[in-house]
A and B are shown apart, each in its own frame.
Chain A
């Protein structure tokens, strides 16, 4: 999935004027302050029930039988031993004999038993006979001209070549040209809560507890897969242990328990183990770019010619935006998707952007050295014109000052001794901007408020946004507001992905709350001797705008409702949210040239996201994105055995993740732009850190750095290669 194409913002509606985000100066803001998350108490006390924690009476446990081979034809499946094993209640064929499995971990069959250990034992007893077939464990192997045909529609698929401007003229205008190949690797999502679900039927109605980024999307996908009415499916996800883009598809771990539960007349739970999670629940595709680029003597980019490829596994694409952000007036790009025998890619936090950003930002530092310009200077010369959604130049200047960019030395730390230091920068952009969301608000006569929205909280804090928005709009105390999300019986909301969740639902909650407030004004106005339109709400009171001392406390006002609560609905409308963010990041590292170990010492992230709804939540998205990208640069790497095609590190021991001591001081500067309305912030901060770090390493060492991850042995190899080639420019 590429990021949604930003569409022009439509004209604001009447509601957008009536319920605009602006807060009159006589009222205390809730929006934009640091409201602690409402689910905090449940999460710190162990009370929060994740899908993985759900247990239903009489529940069975399902376990998949998966292919150990990267590519094979299923000859036969023999369930007899499994069926006879203790506790086994049923078996299911997922792929029929005669069909092919395309990667290690591809699902073949499943068993269900009384307990999880019994299901595991039984799965091992299912005898599957395979005819092993040729496979690819690398892009290079799949791209060989004489490679066997492993994928029915071809091992590679070339896209349209895109060309803008006059490439020949661009290169003619260049004072320097550079040819280099850059690459980034495959990583997996590693949600701490693995993919899981519990399915339970009541007649023809299915209730599914699913660890999902979209309860409504899941409901629709499940109904489609089972060929039943969407109205007969209810999907619930109250708490989830991360998704990062991988939990958007209703596939085997949901459909298997749904089908087995129906067949067996009992609830069925299925939880992937860590290995299955690595193999078969998504990954970030690889990216390779063979680039020729030109720059003029005064540092203007003149031409970009890129041939790119990458793999999204056994049949999925791997495209990415390139060149990224900076303006090459004359450019050409040809991309080819390459298929290899691994699990399929799924969107992973800012799909495509970290890859395109890496290639471009690394190239820019090299071009800057050719011209003899500071890399930041070169960037400032080649950015798109500054606009509210393109603030890079301003952020770069601001960040340079705050970070102390003037202390950066030219490429290659000349200090004697094995420890070298360096600095790097990088920019990011993201579209975001959701357009689907509905909300329901109910004011009870006792003053309690219910806000409902069928969105879900991956951990980003979505649930907390409901009381923040409703609280400010209604003027009700935050502790009077109960938020309900994570249930497809609640009003529709889109998938939490692509930074679209918040801009999708925030307008709906604002409108529903505004309507509820107006209805309340209409019913209490006479008690204040005023007309409804003379009233305002804020700080836990309803008051007369012109005479604030004439007021009612929130609960006293609600008491006037008698028995009949107020209900109001809202739907996404233009005018409350927009698209496109920009941000920049600075990194400082030390590199030990004897061990190859890179230590990040400082990160500065400057990021905008439109109107900041909750400062704590927004900041924590940036911290998380930065560290996730640091992981991409220095730690994570899905490693395949070239000879057998199996994953060598399907665990969390050899698949590395940064711990507390690997994480530097991170400074976050959030640029509040309330006039732009709400824009998501999940993706952009995770785009840039990896390339800022990699350029900092290049700056420290003075050797070319053109691929990730920067594991110690690869850093040492880069130093060796440079020394052996006789040094020269990095």
Chain B
């Protein structure tokens, strides 16, 4: 099937197998390997991307569903090699260990902070309750988000 999709602002036109997952398309066809697959069935949130601006689990979508849509991945967050404030806060607050879950957290948060610019610690935890970190860096992640919003330690 011919699919036209815009990823991180760049248009791609590809002939794709209908069964190809969106996560595999991003990782294998476009070599955007920042999107990670952890559980493979919609539980861990590691594969979260922005689909027309809303967080979506790319392991649960087919690439062909993205035809005519816009997809955002972690590779699109940094502006010209400078980390976004959220990325910088993750780094400073040590909100990652192995880092495998990190892109998913960042994508979920990008949409969340756009809609809720000034969240409290409980709101942050609620918003991230669908992202699992096995290592597990939850405490520092909440700190990073607070820091990105300009709050002191929660």
Nearest chain A residue, comparing its CB with the CB of B88: A44
- Out of A192, A616, A617, name the residue touching B98 (CB < 8 Å): A192
Task: Give CA–CA (A563, B2) in the complex, Å.
Answer: 57
Task: Give CA–CA (A117, B46) in the complex, Å.
Answer: 21
Q: Is B140 an interface residue (CB 8 A)?
A: yes
Q: Is A409 an interface residue (CB 8 A)?
A: no
* A229 CB → nearest B CB, Å: 32
Identify which of residues 87-115 in chain B touch chain A, using a CB-to-CB cut-off of 8 Å: 87-88, 90-92, 94, 96-103, 106
Q: Is A273 an interface residue (CB 8 A)?
A: yes
* B14 CB → nearest A CB, Å: 15
- Out of A190, A242, A623, name the residue touching B139 (CB < 8 Å): A623
Task: Give CA–CA (A620, B144) in the complex, Å.
Answer: 13
Task: Give CA–CA (A627, B140) in the complex, Å.
Answer: 12
Task: Tell me whether A55 and B100 are in contact in the complex, defined as CB-CB below 8 angstroms, given that A459-B135, A663-B139 are known contacts.
Answer: no
Interface string of A443-471 (1 = CB under 8 A from B): 00000000000000011110000000000
Q: Is the CB–CB distance between A661 and B137 below 8 Å?
A: no
Q: Is the CB–CB distance between B34 and A45 below 8 Å?
A: yes
- Out of B34, B83, B88, B100, name the residue touching A242 (CB < 8 Å): B100
Contacts of B17 in A (CB 8 A): 117
Contacts of A659 in B (CB 8 A): 128-132
* B96 CB → nearest A CB, Å: 5
Q: Is the CB–CB distance between B97 and A461 below 8 Å?
A: yes
Q: Is the CB–CB distance between B101 and A44 below 8 Å?
A: no
Q: Is A240 an interface residue (CB 8 A)?
A: yes
Nearest chain B residue, comparing its CB with the CB of A659: B129
Q: Is the CB–CB distance between A192 and B35 below 8 Å?
A: no
Q: Is the CB–CB distance between A274 and B41 below 8 Å?
A: yes
Nearest chain A residue, comparing its CB with the CB of B98: A459
- Out of B20, B77, B96, B136, name the residue touching A43 (CB < 8 Å): B96
Interface string of A653-693 (1 = CB under 8 A from B): 10001111101001000000000000000000000000000
Task: Give CA–CA (A116, B74) in the complex, Å.
Answer: 24
Q: Is the CB–CB distance between A241 and B36 below 8 Å?
A: yes
Q: Is A39 an interface residue (CB 8 A)?
A: yes
Task: Give CA–CA (A584, B26) in the complex, Å.
Answer: 46
* A623 CB → nearest B CB, Å: 5
Using a Cβ–Cβ cut-off of 8 Å, how many residues does chain A contribute to the interface with B? 54
Task: Give CA–CA (A239, B126) in the complex, Å.
Answer: 29
Contacts of A49 in B (CB 8 A): 33
Task: Tell me whether A652 and B99 are in contact in the complex, defined as CB-CB below 8 angstroms, given that A45-B75, A657-B132 are known contacts.
Answer: no
Contacts of A55 in B (CB 8 A): 28, 31, 33
Contacts of A134 in B (CB 8 A): none
Task: Give CA–CA (A44, B135) in the complex, Å.
Answer: 16
Q: Is the CB–CB distance between B94 and A628 below 8 Å?
A: no
Q: Is the CB–CB distance between A660 and B94 below 8 Å?
A: no
Identify which of residues 1-60 in chain B touch chain A, using a CB-to-CB cut-off of 8 Å: 17, 19-20, 24, 27-28, 31-36, 38-41, 43-44, 46
Task: Give CA–CA (A628, B142) in the complex, Å.
Answer: 17
Nearest chain A residue, comparing its CB with the CB of B101: A192
Task: Give CA–CA (A44, B102) in the complex, Å.
Answer: 6
Q: Is the CB–CB distance between A624 and B135 below 8 Å?
A: yes
Which of B126, B134, B140 neighbours the largest number of chain A CB atoms within 10 Å of its CB? B134
Identify which of residues 54-94 in chain B touch chain A, using a CB-to-CB cut-off of 8 Å: 73-75, 77-78, 83, 87-88, 90-92, 94
Nearest chain B residue, comparing its CB with the CB of A45: B78
Q: Is the CB–CB distance between A657 and B41 below 8 Å?
A: no
Q: Is the CB–CB distance between A41 and B83 below 8 Å?
A: yes
Apart from A620-B94, A660-B125, 16 more pairs, CB < 8 Å: A34-B94, A36-B91, A37-B96, A47-B34, A48-B99, A53-B33, A116-B24, A117-B17, A192-B132, A241-B36, A242-B100, A620-B137, A623-B138, A651-B43, A661-B129, A663-B136
9 residue pairs bridging A and B, Cβ less than 8 Å apart: A44-B102, A46-B75, A50-B33, A192-B100, A192-B101, A241-B36, A273-B40, A459-B99, A624-B97
